[in-house]
């Protein structure tokens, strides 16, 4: 599993949860992303390790490598940001920001399909690794 | 690998960028469109939501009006359809006792209640419909999902199209470029499309082909250049010539292995050094340093070589003969950029040339100059004599007794004698003089800047130096003398040509020899002896002419046996010459000249051929005698003469036993080896031999032991006075006795009277010959009736 696949999967789950109005699933996804962000035990890495594939963190993004300002990984930052945004827009300000979860669902899905994640690119532009 | 990674990133980056821009563009467009549509939809939904209850009330009234309240079934059916159509969750209508109800309301449904009075009946109407929030939420979901799916599909399609139209060809081009970068020269860009990629592909392919062709040509040119350079280097390394190149200032840049070997220094040791420091050249002739050829070439700027013979002196002092040439190296503009010096070791060639030069100018046996060199120097001397008026002289020397040593002791002894005499003479000449062996036992000395009297003094020294010399060989000791003719190189005295000088010297030498050997004779014009020699020399051409014109004639003189019963008549063939006027020339007028100038062999051949031919006719005519023919000492030494005699005997068919060859005692002894060979060959055929003039020359009875002769002809000087002189008588008798003891028959010459003949008979001499018995007469008289037209000298070599 790659990060791209994971993003595709997360996007689909968000959209399913929104459509079927499954706040538990949204919550679970927020927790999952937070866990990954905090521990850096990301599912693609773990699965690769289990399968015995050398999948050391490498440039999975489709952007040319940039010189990073911080040692913190952009993938982890993206997970923090996504989980926060999803949590706030879905559980706190849903009446006004109801469209954000939908947007995030499609964004994850689109990132998975296209291989381009604007948020990740943005974090990398900011100097994350 | 880094470049590969970059290529991957770049190609993927472009694809991703295209996809990302398109996809996210579509997402943004979708979102904006969704919001716009959402506003309108929400407004419509709210209006619709508010109108539903009124609309439903209107429908109830219309139903009641149309059907009344009696037909409840029909009303229920129509209202249910209408409720479904309006999205009403449930409704309740109470009138009288009847209730019309449809659906089950959910907890969050909104409830609308009203009471209508129709046909005096109260109708309590309760309507349940989904809340506006729920409907809005549902509306949003539907819109977002549909828009999301729509734009996602549209985005994917657009992405696919762009991928195919832009990204894929571009990636293909990048892959092709990558393959080309990795060295695949066969791969080409896709160029069949009619779009910009096709054009770009064709353009790049053409450029690539052109580049590859240029590259290939360049490779070939480089390879060719490399090969040429390699070939040139190998050639330079392989050739036997030494090659050194310098820059235009004479600083050494390159030297091939031969140059290293000849110089005795390595390239590393001489590179960068000035050429004059490593090339030390001197002239072979003067031993002085010569101009360095490289420096000369730098100044002259042309191909040059040294005419002089040059010696290279190596660093270790070894000297090597070399031949060199230099040439400037020019660039394409013709400017000199360096000098190439080529030289090779010519030590062997020069050594050989020196040897050849030495051999060409020196006598191999004695080491003295040879005749050719002597004549060359003589020509030079004559030239300077005429031009500068200097006085030179020439000594012509002939060894006495050399022939005796050579014949009695062999050629080795003769050669040894010549070497020893040469060494003695060498010590007597000045450095400026030229001592040469002119041939056989003849020597010449060219005395430069020497008056005739001074030359005479030097000649005396030569003679004196040999006077005490004795040649020893096999316990035999020979006294060697020398006869010297001295000539001043003067046009007035000798004539101006080399031939005149040598002739004069030769004549003077023979004059000295004739005067008794071991003497010196100065050539002076008007000298009687020399005039005699001149006369002899004139006979040379006359003899040749006489032979050509067949003016010789054979005479005969009987050799009468003292006892005709025991011995057969002999006839000696005598040669006579008739001059141009037909006058008889006595033999002693031309024989000495013929002997001196080596014409006797030709004359002997003529005698042999003509004598035997006539003798054969006599035999055929029944005139029987033994013919005696004289053979000269010169002829004995000629191999071809022996062949001539043998062939003539065979051709004429005469009986060899009827031929007696007469050889003078002196000639036989002087040419002992040749005489023995000659006699042995003809004796084997059956010929007879007589030793002529025995007793008057180098008489020695000892020689008789070694000479297989049949007759001894006692010299006439003993015979003619034998009646008066007891000594002569005794000599004749003793020779006769010795001869008889050796089974030799004796012949007495000069028998001028019958008394002498009688006395000869008395003492046992077998034959007598002389005017008293028979005067010489033409041989042709023996057969007077026959014309001797067939006889000539055509068979004489």
**Quick one: average pLDDT of B578-582?**
83
**Interface membership of B557 toward A (CB under 8 Å):** no
Residues 91-110 of A with CB under 8 A from B: 98-99, 102-103, 106-107, 109-110
Interface of B with A in 35-64 (CB under 8 A): 35
3-state secondary structure string across B451-466: CHHHHHHHHHHHHHHH
Q: Among B12, B35, B137, whose Cβ lies nearest the Cβ of A62?
A: B12
Chain A positions in Cβ-Cβ contact with residue B141 (cut-off 8 Å) = 18-19
**Count of CB contacts below 8 A, A vs B?**
60
- Residue B659: what pLDDT? 94
For B353, phi then psi, to 5°, come to -60, -40
Structure-token match 């994971």, residue found: A6
Collect all residues of chain B within an 8 Å Cβ-Cβ radius of residue A110: 23-24, 27, 152, 155
**A113 and B16: CB-CB below 8 Å?**
no
Partner residue opposite B19 with nearest CB, options A102, A103, A114:
A114
Residue in chain A closest to B163 (alpha carbons) equals: A114
Percent of chain B residues topping a pLDDT of 90: 20
Q: What is the pLDDT of residue B533?
A: 67
Would you call B272 an interface residue with chain A, using a CB distance cutoff of 8 Å? no
**Does the pLDDT of residue B455 top 50, yes or no?**
yes
Q: Do B16 and A63 touch (CB under 8 A)?
A: yes
Q: Please check whether residue B102 is in contact with residue B69, taking contact to mean a CB–CB distance below 8 angstroms.
A: no
The pTM assigned to this predicted structure is 0.41
Residue among A19, A103, A115 whose CB faces B145 most closely: A19
Q: What is the pLDDT of residues B238-289, one digit of tens each?
A: 888 899 999 989 999 999 989 999 999 998 999 999 998 888 999 888 888 8
> Out of A63, A98, A115, whose CB is closest to B140?
A98
User: If you measure CA to CA, which chain B residue comes closest to A60?
Assistant: B9
pLDDT for residue B570: 92
pLDDT bucket at B530, cuts 50 / 70 / 90: low
pLDDT at B429 over 70: yes
Distance separating alpha carbons of residues B58 and B643, to the nearest angstrom:
176
Contacts of A99 in chain B (CB under 8 A): 31, 34-35, 140, 144
B16 touches chain A (CB under 8 A): yes
Residue B33, chain A, CB below 8 Å: the answer is: no
Average pLDDT, chain B: 84
- Of all helices (H) and strands (E), which one includes residue B209? helix B196-238
d(CA A78, CA A123): 7
Report yes or no: B299 at the A interface, CB cutoff 8 Å.
Answer: no
Say what percent of chain B tops pLDDT 70: 92
Is the CB of residue A126 less than 8 Å from the CB of residue A115?
A: no
Average pLDDT over residues B351-372: 88
Instruction: Please give the Cα distance from A78 to A74 (Å, whole number).
Output: 6
pLDDT at B687: 94
Which residue from A18, A64, A107 is facing B9, i.e. has the nearest CB? A64
- A115 contact B CB<8A: yes
Q: Is the pLDDT of residue B649 over 90?
A: yes
Q: Which residue in the set A15, A18, A110 is minimally distant from B27, CB to CB?
A: A110
Which two structure tokens, joined as six digits, stand for B2?
A: 């880094």
Report the residue of chain B nearest A116, measured CA to CA.
B20
Residues in contact with A125: Cβ distance below 8 Å, sequence separation at least 6, in sequence order: A66
pLDDT band at residue B21 using 50, 70 and 90 as cut-offs: confident
A116–B12: do the CB atoms touch at under 8 Å? Answer: no
Q: Out of B10, B19, B31, name the one closest to residue A115 (CB).
A: B19
Q: What is the mean pLDDT of residues B141-165?
A: 81
Round to whole Å and give the CA distance between A79 and B282.
97
- Minimal CA separation from A78 to chain B, in Å: 18
Residue B97's contacts (CB-CB under 8 Å, 6 or more residues apart) are none
**A116 vs B155: CB contact, 8 Å cut-off?**
no
Would you call A19 and B155 a contact, using CB atoms and an 8 Å cutoff?
A: no
Chain A contact for B13 (CB, 8 A cutoff): yes
d(CA B684, CA B690): 15
A110 contacts B31? CB cut-off 8 A: no
Residues 151-210 on B with a CB inside 8 Å of A are 152, 155-156, 159
At B473 the pLDDT is 84
What pLDDT shows up at residue B796? Answer: 46
Which tokens is B223 given? 């390879």
User: Of A106, A118, A124, which to mutate for an interface test with B (greatest number of B Cβ within 10 Å)?
Assistant: A106
Chain B residues whose CB is inside 8 A of the A18 CB are 141
Q: Which ipTM was obtained for this model?
A: 0.74
Mutate to test the interface with B, among A116, A118, A124 (most CBs of B within 10 A): A116
* Residue B38 C-alpha, separation from nearest chain A C-alpha, in angstroms: 11
Asked if B243 and B342 touch (Cβ cutoff 8 Å), the reply is yes
Cα separation, B105 vs B90, whole angstroms: 5
């Amino acid at each position: 599993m790659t990060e791209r696949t994971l993003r595709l999967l997360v996007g689909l789950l968000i959209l399913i949860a929104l459509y079927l109005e499954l706040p538990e699933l949204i919550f679970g996804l927020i927790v999952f992303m937070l866990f990954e962000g905090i521990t850096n035990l990301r599912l693609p890495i773990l699965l690769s390790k289990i399968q015995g594939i050398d999948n050391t963190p490498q440039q999975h993004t489709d952007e040319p490598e940039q010189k990073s300002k911080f040692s913190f990984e952009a993938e982890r930052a993206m997970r923090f940001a996504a989980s926060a945004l999803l949590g706030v827009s879905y559980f706190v300000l849903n009446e006004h920001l109801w469209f954000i979860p939908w947007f995030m669902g499609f964004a994850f899905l689109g990132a998975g399909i296209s291989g381009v994640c604007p948020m990740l690119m943005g974090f990398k532009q900011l100097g994350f690794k | 690998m880094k470049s590969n990674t970059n290529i991957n990133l770049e190609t993927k980056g472009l694809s991703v960028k295209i996809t990302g821009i398109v996809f996210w563009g579509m997402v943004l467009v979708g979102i904006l469109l969704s919001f716009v549509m959402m506003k309108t939809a929400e407004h419509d939904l709210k209006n619709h939501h508010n109108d539903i209850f009124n609309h439903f009330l209107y429908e109830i009234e219309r139903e009641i009006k149309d059907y009344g309240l009696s037909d409840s079934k029909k009303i229920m059916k129509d209202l249910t359809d209408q409720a479904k159509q309006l999205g009403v969750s449930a409704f309740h209508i109470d009138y009288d006792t009847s209730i019309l109800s449809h659906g089950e309301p959910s907890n969050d449904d909104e409830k609308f209640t009203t009471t209508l009075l129709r046909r005096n009946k109260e109708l309590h109407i309760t309507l349940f419909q989904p809340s506006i929030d729920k409907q809005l939420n549902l509306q949003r979901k539907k819109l977002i999902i549909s828009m999301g799916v729509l734009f996602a599909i549209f985005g994917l399609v657009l992405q696919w199209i762009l991928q195919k139209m832009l990204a894929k060809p571009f990636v293909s081009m990048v892959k092709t470029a990558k393959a080309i970068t990795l060295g695949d020269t066969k791969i080409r860009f896709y160029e069949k499309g009619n779009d910009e990629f096709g054009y770009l592909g064709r353009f790049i392919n053409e450029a690539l082909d052109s580049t590859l062709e240029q590259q290939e040509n360049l490779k070939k040119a480089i390879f060719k250049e490399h090969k040429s350079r390699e070939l040139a280097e190998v050639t330079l390394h392989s050739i036997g010539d030494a090659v050194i190149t310098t820059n235009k200032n004479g600083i050494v840049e390159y030297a091939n292995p031969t140059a290293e070997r000849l110089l005795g220094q390595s390239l590393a040791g001489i590179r960068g050094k000035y050429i004059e420091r490593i090339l030390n050249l001197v002239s072979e002739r003067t031993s002085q340093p010569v101009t360095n050829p490289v420096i000369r070439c730098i100044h002259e700027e042309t191909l040059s070589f040294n005419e002089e013979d040059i010696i290279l002196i190596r660093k270790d002092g070894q000297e090597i003969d070399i031949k060199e040439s230099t040439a400037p190296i020019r660039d394409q503009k013709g400017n000199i950029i360096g000098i190439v010096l080529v030289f090779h070791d010519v030590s062997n060639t020069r050594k050989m040339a020196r040897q050849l030069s030495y051999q060409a100018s020196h006598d191999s046996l004695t080491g003295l100059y040879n005749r050719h060199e002597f004549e060359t120097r003589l020509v030079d001397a004559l030239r300077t004599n005429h031009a500068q008026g200097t006085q030179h002289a020439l000594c012509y020397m002939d060894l006495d007794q050399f022939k005796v040593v050579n014949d009695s002791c062999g050629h080795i002894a003769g050669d040894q004698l010549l070497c020893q005499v040469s060494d003695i003479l060498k010590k007597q000449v000045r450095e400026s003089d030229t001592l040469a062996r002119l041939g056989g036992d003849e020597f010449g000395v060219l005395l430069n800047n020497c008056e005739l009297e001074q030359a005479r003094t030097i000649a005396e020294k030569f003679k004196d130096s040999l006077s005490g010399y004795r040649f020893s060989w096999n316990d035999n000791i020979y006294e060697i003398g020398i006869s010297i003719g001295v000539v001043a190189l003067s046009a007035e005295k000798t004539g101006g040509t080399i031939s005149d000088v040598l002739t004069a010297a030769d004549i003077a030498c023979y004059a000295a020899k004739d005067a008794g050997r071991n003497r010196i004779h100065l050539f002076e014009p008007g000298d009687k002896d020399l005039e005699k020699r001149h006369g002899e020399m004139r006979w040379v051409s006359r003899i040749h002419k006489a032979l050509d014109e067949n003016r010789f004639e054979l005479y005969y003189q009987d050799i009468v046996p003292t006892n005709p019963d025991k011995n057969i008549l002999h006839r000696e063939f005598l040669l006579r010459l008739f001059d141009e006027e037909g006058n008889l020339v006595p033999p002693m007028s031309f024989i000495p000249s013929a002997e001196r100038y080596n014409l006797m062999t030709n004359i002997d051949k003529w005698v042999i051929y003509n004598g035997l031919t006539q003798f054969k006719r006599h035999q055929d005519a029944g005139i029987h005698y033994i013919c005696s023919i004289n053979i000269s000492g010169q002829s004995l030494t000629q191999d071809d003469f022996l062949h001539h005699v043998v062939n003539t005997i065979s051709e004429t068919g005469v009986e060899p036993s009827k031929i007696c060859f007469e050889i003078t005692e002196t000639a036989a002894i002087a040419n002992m080896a040749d005489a023995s060979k000659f006699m042995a060959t003809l004796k084997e055929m059956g010929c007879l031999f007589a030793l002529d003039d025995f007793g008057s020359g180098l008489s020695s009875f000892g020689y008789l032991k070694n000479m297989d002769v049949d007759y001894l002809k006692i010299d006439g000087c003993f015979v003619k006075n034998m009646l008066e002189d007891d000594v002569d008588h005794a000599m004749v008798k003793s020779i006769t006795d010795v001869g008889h003891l050796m089974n030799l028959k004796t012949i007495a010459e000069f028998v001028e009277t019958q008394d002498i003949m009688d006395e000869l008979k008395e003492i046992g001499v077998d034959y007598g010959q002389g005017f008293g018995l028979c005067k010489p007469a033409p041989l042709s008289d023996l057969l007077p009736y026959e014309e001797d037209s067939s006889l000539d000298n055509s068979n004489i070599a």
